[in-house]
Amino acid sequence: MTSIIYSPKDIFEQEFKTSMRGFDKKEVDEFLDNVIKDYEAYIAEIEHLKAENERLRKKVGSQSRSSHADEHSSMMQPTRVTQTATNFDILKRISRLEKEVFGKQITDY
């Protein structure tokens, strides 16, 4: 994962040199204010998703531990059949989606 170079504070504190035919300072400041708001929203969304990801990992981990105990008491074969059917269903859905998205392009080949 690439690291973030600028923080919202860095963007806010950035100073640009002005020249004879430079940009309108007010317009640049307004644009950078919006960039800062977007940046803060992205950072908040990333933190929210990290927290949700961690919560789901813990949930899956606890379900995995409880289902692992159940596996020893039940037969493995029905689970494999269900998994195969699920994979087959997913492949059928992907095929339908591709046909819907690409239309005739897929059916022509």
pLDDT tens, position by position, 65-81: 776 555 555 544 455 54
pTM, full prediction: 0.47
Average pLDDT over residues 76-92: 62
Res. 85: pLDDT tops 90 = no
Count of C-beta atoms within a 10 Å radius of residue 35 = 14
Residues sharing a CB contact under 8 Å with residue 39, sequence separation 6 or more, in sequence order: 6, 7, 8, 11
The pLDDT of residue 81 is: 47
Structure confidence at residue 48 (pLDDT) = 94
Instruction: Please write the tens of the pLDDT for every residue from 41-65.
Output: 888 999 999 999 999 999 888 887 7
d(CA 85, CA 91): 10
pLDDT digits (tens, 9 = 90+) for 12-44: 888 877 777 788 888 888 888 888 888 888 889
Of 43, 42, 35, the closest CA to residue 14 belongs to 35
